[in-house]
Chain A
């Protein structure tokens, strides 16, 4: 907690944006360990992969496009400060009547949650309860979140991307392939990262993990490759066109599972009808939708990263 506060304060006061981005990464990593302490391993994994991992890379990408120094703000800071203080005050006020932390008589332990804990084993048969809730009981929320990711990708694409437009220029993007150490280590690491991504993807039923985290890890491996070697060689492996196709395909796979369940006579995303045995149906359903989530997350992350790096190349050409 102490480290969190110190990091948070230094983010506010440091004007060097590069340092700020790195501090954000530290902040996320510390929160992730905090979540592990609270036994929320799935959340911790997500925080580590998304907060400390991919968003740091994306923010660094933004810095490469803009500048490293923070501009002096022209606005006064009195009003924002007041808003923050009032909000903080309200939050503290709210804690006064909260149930005690980890008190077994909390309302959250007595209403909806017991059924998830006691019956998800029989109804869904997946050992990781978090996956049962995310994938099945509240699967529709997860579909919504996947669409949120898709919408974000769409937004960046419409601002920076060259969707459907052929690139007019072919300037080699900067690469670091002349650094021998980087090259060798990257080559050794990338397959392992990909493998780990797949493990997280398909082992989500049994341990912490699932489509979101796996998608981010998978994307990280490809981004690492793009940074070390060059954007073009990464795009040779997976072209922007394919990325855009995959962005849609993931959402469609997820929603498609829902449509199939409707055609088979169930409700939307009611996986029971997918196989003769409802528990098997749940397994298939969760596996497929997690795959959909993974595909969309990977491709959206890649799309955003490539949009940034292409932008950088185009700008450096304009400057010449």
Chain B
């Protein structure tokens, strides 16, 4: 019975846990409870992904109503893969949050943080697993509202402005998505994604569907912070609590990219999006400045969390660039990078949290001599940085390799150059940290600071370690990404 209901439990479990947090109330207990829930979620998503790989897509009828009348939950290779990313990061960051939140947030608000965190997890998992377009919107709202809460709980007062800015941009994005879904419903009479995919081709030529396509694309691109719609991202990530930055940077934008893939490839189909509408060109024209400008701005940041946030803008550019080729290799590189970037950026933000734990913030001047004081944390940052740059044996290399392959496959060699320049810019901003940390002597007054606590180091190294492991042993990730890419490309033909 339990195994039949796994798809529902994946989302319902954290959903029920979030209000229970308010009832349990004592922060320590709440954390243990939330951690427990996150671990079960991770278990469920592993189980679901392996079931999908072995036996094919799983469909689950909410309320026992057959789709398209009821809401369908549908796990296929790509959604299973993204579910795994989200729940894995969710569990690792929750492990980290116990110590870090205790330090960063006033006691009476800690419970609220955990509750909002679980809600956010619910929302993100719900977006990925559902097979219903309107249900995506509902869960998008859950994840967005709880994200604003998470950001606003940051210690710095600027977190409030950042959260407000995010709220305005996020609401705009959500409204656009809702308009798009509404227009599609008007033309097809259905909300189920597979059903939409079947019925859209009949009405593809209408202006209403074109407008729906445009609204959806713009709305989702706002959510995934594609240049130039990224303005909400740097401040939100910079001022949110450390655990929230790590969780959001590793999951929220990834889920938005998943939604983009779903709508563009599954519903509208490759032919419509890339041949009739100029989707490929538009995405490429935004992805290239995202990479170049994002990386360049990152170099000039003094607040290192902000620097990593701008680097995220650039990394999102890589993913979108891969998708814009609309080829199997390109999509593979995009999907791979979803996973790989989640590992390295999550790990990096966690490491920064370790530094902020003692220093109160993570600005460039705090890094002086840290190579000696916090060797493990700094080592994590260096490894994560190498991965951002794309050095062989790290996950960053694998995704960039596929991206360059995809570019060359279509004869776009200038794009390969852009990827290379992006890597060089990443070398510059990461080198700033290395220089500060290893080539500066420690001033005696600062020696009081110690290595970050183990409870912070272990989760950090779990993610950083995984980013090396999956850089060497690529069978699982590349295999799944490639199959998912083939499925998406096949769906539109």
User: What is the interface of chain A, defined by CB distance below 8 A to chain B?
Assistant: 90-91, 93-99, 106-113, 115-116, 136-141, 143-145, 147-148, 150-152, 154-155, 157-159, 162-165, 244-245, 247-249, 251-252, 255-256, 258-259, 262-263, 265-272
Contacts and interface: CB of A to CB of B under 8 A. Distances in A.
B21 to A, nearest CB: 8
Contact of B12 (A148, A248, A259): A259
A267 B145 contact: no
B148 interface: yes
B211 A107 contact: no
Contacts of B183: 94
B68 A111 contact: yes
Contact of B5 (A116, A143, A152, A267): A267
B387 to A, nearest CB: 34
B186 A137 contact: no
Interface residues of B, number: 66
Interface string B6-24: 0010001001101110110
Interface of B: 1, 5, 8, 12, 15-16, 18-20, 22-23, 25, 60-65, 68-71, 108-109, 111-113, 115-116, 119, 122, 126, 132, 134-135, 138-139, 141-142, 145-146, 148-149, 152-153, 160, 179, 183, 185-191, 199, 203, 206-212, 214-215
Contacts of A158: 109, 112-113, 116, 149, 152-153
A98 B199 CA distance: 16
B1 A262 contact: yes
Contacts of B141: 144, 148, 151
Contacts of A91: 179, 211
A267 B64 contact: yes
B19 A155 contact: no
B64 A270 contact: yes
A262 B5 contact: yes
Given A150-B19, A245-B22, A248-B22, 9 more contacts: A91-B211, A137-B65, A148-B138, A148-B145, A151-B149, A158-B109, A163-B109, A262-B8, A270-B62
Contacts of A155: 116, 145-146, 148-149, 152
11 contacts: A107-B199, A108-B189, A111-B68, A112-B69, A115-B69, A138-B134, A147-B18, A147-B119, A163-B109, A248-B22, A263-B1
A255 B62 contact: no
Given A112-B189, A267-B64, A271-B63, A259 B16 contact: yes
B56 to A, nearest CB: 20
Nearest to B119: A151
A99 B160 CA distance: 44
A102 to B, nearest CB: 13
Contacts of A90: 211, 214-215
B189 A110 contact: yes
A137 B142 contact: no
A77 to B, nearest CB: 15
Chain A to chain B: the 6 pairs with minimum beta-carbon distance, closest first: A94-B211, A270-B64, A248-B19, A111-B189, A144-B138, A97-B206
Contacts of B63: 136-137, 139-140, 267-271
A108 B185 contact: yes
B116 A272 contact: no
B121 to A, nearest CB: 12
Nearest to A270: B64
B351 to A, nearest CB: 26
A95 B8 CA distance: 37
A249 B23 CA distance: 9
A163 B126 CA distance: 28
A101 to B, nearest CB: 11
